[in-house]
């Protein structure tokens, strides 16, 4: 029985209410609140990035489990900070891991956290004494004023994969789907992603549908035998759309309320964090586990999508006693503690990126997270503990 042993989150220091963005763009806030299913988005402090977010998410996981069993760190991101060096190597030092660890970065848009989960499971199958640390961390940025702007966000999920998981035991079947489409991408010279919004929705649905068909062909459970569904959530309404699409494709007879009950409890964190790309589907899983329902023994699907496009559909069962491994109150506190910033403050932050002095600059000390990105000296990124 291999699966997810522990799972924690981190997010940006601040939040902006999407009503403020709607006002500037002359849009009805209901379009964002109801139409996209998003109320807020996280905004990072000047001294935060994917490394500090990822390390912050991983710290409580390591503090609980210890560091000795970790021999691999897989860092999934689509907002990489270096063309060569893996972001996970910085996190490895900040987290005080042993030198006898392999660290690598994985990229395929929002999907690569799930590739990391599968690679981790394979490593644990080879040596059940090991735990693999997976970090999925991203800062989502689109052009200011574009229709994608309200679907930005920032967040990280960190989880360990082990042979005796406390949260979710993975089932063997996995459905895969890849198609070369240009729905969303970010060329090396750009800070913001290029996206064809409406076609990205179609590409997402077709890829998830294709992955589910393959999952069934690989011996996966019937749609009716899956209790809950965690979808990648670029905005939470996308999960509702995907679930209705999959239900119809699978010939489900469930009514709208029953379908909503399978997916709505996965949205609580992403609705407030915004798109966290690779982390998003794992934040959906965390919200589900942290929710009120007792999920013991339930079969949960992870439906992962990364533009470009790759999708994977897999399932696991919730382990008895899983609630003892949760940090529900801490997670709520992390979200509640983010001060709200005005649209002007948010705009000023977004406009200072990219830096005009990218090879050498100092960041103001803003973050309250355990690690900070202090700046760049002679093209080297400087990370340090906050205290």
- Considering only CA atoms, which of 180, 70, 74 is closest in space to residue 118? 74
How many C-beta atoms lie closer than 10 Å to residue 296's C-beta? 12
> What span, in angstroms and rounded, lies between the C-alpha atoms of 283 and 334?
13
Residue (215 or 277) nearer to ligand CAA, CB: 277
Residue (277 or 373) nearer to ligand CAA, CB: 277
Query: Tokens in use for 212?
Result: 């589910």
Minimum distance from residue 175 beta carbon to ligand CAA (Å) = 17
Residue (92 or 272) nearer to ligand CAA, CB: 272
Please tell me which residue in 46, 92, 110, 230 is annotated as part of the active site.
Answer: 110
Residue (36 or 300) nearer to ligand CAA, CB: 36
Residue (25 or 347) nearer to ligand CAA, CB: 25
Residue (28 or 344) nearer to ligand CAA, CB: 28
Let me know if 92 is a catalytic residue.
Answer: no
Q: Which residues pair with 317 in a beta bridge?
A: 169, 299
Minimum distance from residue 78 beta carbon to ligand CAA (Å) = 9
Please tell me which residue in 149, 232, 243, 312 is annotated as part of the active site.
Answer: 232
Pair 159, 325: CB distance under 8 Å: no
Minimum distance from residue 108 beta carbon to ligand CAA (Å) = 11
Pair 267, 290: CB distance under 8 Å: no
> What span, in angstroms and rounded, lies between the C-alpha atoms of 358 and 378?
9
Minimum distance from residue 315 beta carbon to ligand CAA (Å) = 20
Q: Which residues bind ligand CAA (CB under 6 A)?
A: 28, 30-31, 34-36, 110, 147-148, 151, 183-184, 195, 197-198, 200-201, 204, 232, 234-235, 238, 275, 277, 305, 307
Pair 44, 53: CB distance under 8 Å: yes
Minimum distance from residue 227 beta carbon to ligand CAA (Å) = 23
> What span, in angstroms and rounded, lies between the C-alpha atoms of 285 and 263?
10
131-140, strands of its sheet edge to edge = 102-106, 70-76, 131-140, 153-162, 3-11, 168-178, 310-318, 299-306, 228-231
Let me know if 292 is a catalytic residue.
Answer: no
> What span, in angstroms and rounded, lies between the C-alpha atoms of 15 and 274?
10
Please tell me which residue in 46, 78, 105, 312 is annotated as part of the active site.
Answer: 78
- Give the Å distances, CA to CA, from 330 to 9, 10, 193, 337: 10, 10, 32, 10
| Inter-axis angle of helices 280-290 and 328-336, nearest 10 | 120
Let me know if 230 is a catalytic residue.
Answer: no
Comparing every residue's Cβ against ligand CAA, the nearest one is 35
Minimum distance from residue 13 beta carbon to ligand CAA (Å) = 22
Catalytic residue positions, numbered:
78, 110, 232
């Amino acid at each position: 029985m291999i699966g997810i042993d522990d799972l924690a989150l981190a997010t940006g220091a601040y939040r902006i209410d999407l009503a403020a963005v709607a006002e500037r763009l002359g849009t009805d806030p209901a379009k964002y609140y109801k139409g996209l299913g998003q109320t807020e988005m996280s905004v990072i402090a000047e001294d935060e990035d994917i490394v500090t977010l990822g390390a912050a998410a991983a710290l409580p996981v390591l503090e609980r489990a210890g560091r000795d069993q970790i021999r691999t760190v897989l860092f999934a991101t689509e907002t990489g900070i270096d063309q060569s060096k893996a972001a996970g190597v910085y996190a490895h030092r900040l987290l005080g891991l042993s030198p006898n660890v392999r660290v690598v970065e994985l990229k395929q848009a929002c999907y690569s956290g799930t590739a990391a989960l599968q690679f981790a499971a394979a490593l644990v199958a080879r040596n059940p004494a090991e735990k693999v640390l997976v970090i999925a961390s991203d800062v989502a940025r689109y052009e200011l004023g574009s229709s994608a702007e309200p679907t930005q966000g920032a967040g990280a999920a960190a989880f360990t994969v082990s042979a005796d998981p406390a949260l979710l035991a993975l089932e063997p079947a996995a459905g895969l789907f890849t198609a070369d489409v240009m729905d969303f991408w970010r060329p090396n010279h750009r800070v913001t992603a290029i996206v064809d919004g409406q076609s990205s929705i179609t590409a997402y649905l077709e890829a998830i549908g294709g992955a589910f068909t393959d999952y069934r062909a690989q011996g996966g459970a019937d749609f009716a035998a899956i209790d809950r569904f965690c979808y990648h959530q670029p905005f939470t309404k996308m999960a509702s759309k995907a679930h209705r699409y999959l239900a119809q494709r699978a010939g489900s007879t469930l009514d709208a309320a029953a379908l909503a009950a399978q997916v709505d409890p996965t949205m609580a964190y992403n609705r407030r964090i915004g798109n966290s790309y690779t982390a998003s589907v794992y934040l959906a899983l965390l919200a589900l586990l942290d929710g009120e329902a007792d999920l013991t023994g339930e079969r949960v699907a992870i439906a992962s999508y990364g533009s470009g496009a790759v999708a994977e559909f897999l399932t696991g069962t919730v382990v008895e006693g899983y609630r003892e491994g949760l940090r529900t109150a801490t997670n709520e506190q992390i979200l509640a503690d983010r001060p709200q910033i005005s649209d002007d403050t948010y705009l000023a932050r977004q406009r200072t990126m990219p830096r005009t002095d990218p090879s050498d600059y100092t960041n103001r000390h803003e973050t309250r997270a355990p690690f900070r990105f202090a700046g760049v000296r002679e093209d080297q990124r400087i990370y340090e503990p906050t205290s």
